[in-house]
Each structure stands twice: as structure tokens, then as C-alpha cells.
Structure 1
């Protein structure tokens, strides 16, 4: 099961090799669309910066997700994963909103701990 539309440009899927474990992913090609917003705040527009966006989104808008989602970004890819599909879907909603609304993205970046973006 792969959902490429509900949280676009992020994809949500269940790992084939690990049923019951889920992933929310944003690739580097998609990150380019909002790179300028991250760079305006002094961050490279990679997976590590998107972890900062995700952590800030959770803190500001969905603190009930704290500890229910794990992160494993790389320079060219953001990944959130875990066994709580509903928590990942909620995070997907928040990140989709941030991606499509530059003011929201800016809010999440500005409110985040700078250590989260490295």
C-alpha cells in the first residue's frame, strides 16, 4: 500500500518487508519547491531540515504525537517512520500544509530549535 496523493508531495506507505511498520517520505526532488523558504532561515533544504520542520510542527500543532513518530532523514530525503500509522498520517497532514503554505512553513521553521535542522 503506497499513498502518493493524500500528503503530496510526501508519500505514505507500509514497508513490504515489515508489515505493521509505516513510512512518511519526502524526496530531494520534491524539496526543491520550497528550498528558498528554508534558505531564508539559514538552513539547507534537505532531509535534516525537514526533520526540524516536522519536530516543530508536532510541538506547535500536535503535541500528542510526541514520541509516537521516529525520524531517519538523510541529506536528500526526509523519512518519518514507526508502527503508529495514525500518528504518521497526522504528521503527513501537517507537513503537506507546510509544503503548500509558505507562511506555515516559515512559522514552523522560526519556532523550531536550531539543533533540529542539522
Structure 2
């Protein structure tokens, strides 16, 4: 997959190259807000921490082989995941975006996400 195709495929997530690592981020509030609305009464807002909680469930259940390689660094307004293994980060990002587009799967995963 070309870099351009990859970046198109993961939108609205976006790739940031660093010297020895890379990040994939998302400005929250512009994508899949309805997921978090299902648990708003528990305190989920769809912020960067909530996205990280969801992504951690996905990582643990669907790609446990990458759990030691993928790291999270969310903020209130931004979800961010990073790794020094760029290929692993690409693989994770593609699969997570695919999961986000599968309404049944993503809601099932979110049912096990914990408020940070």
C-alpha cells in the first residue's frame, strides 16, 4: 500500500513521522461520536482518553501481539498512539480504522472500555 493510499484509508486519523518513531492521531469530536454517546451517562465524552480506552480494548483483544509495541499518549482534544515500530503502527492503525467502520464490532469492543 502506498503512503498516500494508507493515509487516505485511515482518515480522519492522521500519520505523523518522527525521527525514530511515528504517531497516528485524531482530533476528537469529528468521527464516530455516536459510539461514545451510548455511554455518556457513565462519563464518556469521546475525548482523547476515551478513544485510547477503546483502542486499548481493540489492541488487547484483536492484536495482542502488538500490545508491547503500541503506546498511547492521549490528550483531552486528541487521541494519539505511537510506536518506534512504524510497520506495526501502520498495521494497528489500518485494523483499528477497519474496526471503527464495523458498527457491531466497535460497539462490542466499547462495551468493555474503561473510563480513564
User: What's the TM-score once normalised by structure 1's chain length?
Assistant: 0.81
Q: RMSD of aligned C-alpha atoms?
A: 1.9
Counterpart selection for 2:36 from 27, 35, 38:
38
- Shift of residue 29, structure 1, vs aligned partner: 4.4
Deviates more, 1:70-79 or 1:36-45: 36-45
Question: Would you say the 8 A contact 2:66–2:88 is kept in 1?
Answer: yes
Gaps of 5+ in 2: none
Gaps of 5+ in 1: none
Paired residues, number: 110
SS in 2 for 1:111: coil
- Shift of residue 20, structure 1, vs aligned partner: 2.4
1:12 matches 2:15: yes
Q: Extract structure 1 runs of 4+ deviating beyond 4 A.
A: none
Counterparts of 1:1-118 in structure 2, within 5 Å, are 4-15=7-18, 19-31=19-31, 34-42=32-40, 43-112=44-113, 114=114, 117-118=115-116
User: What's the TM-score once normalised by structure 2's chain length?
Assistant: 0.82
d(CA) in 2 for partners of 1:81, 1:28: 17
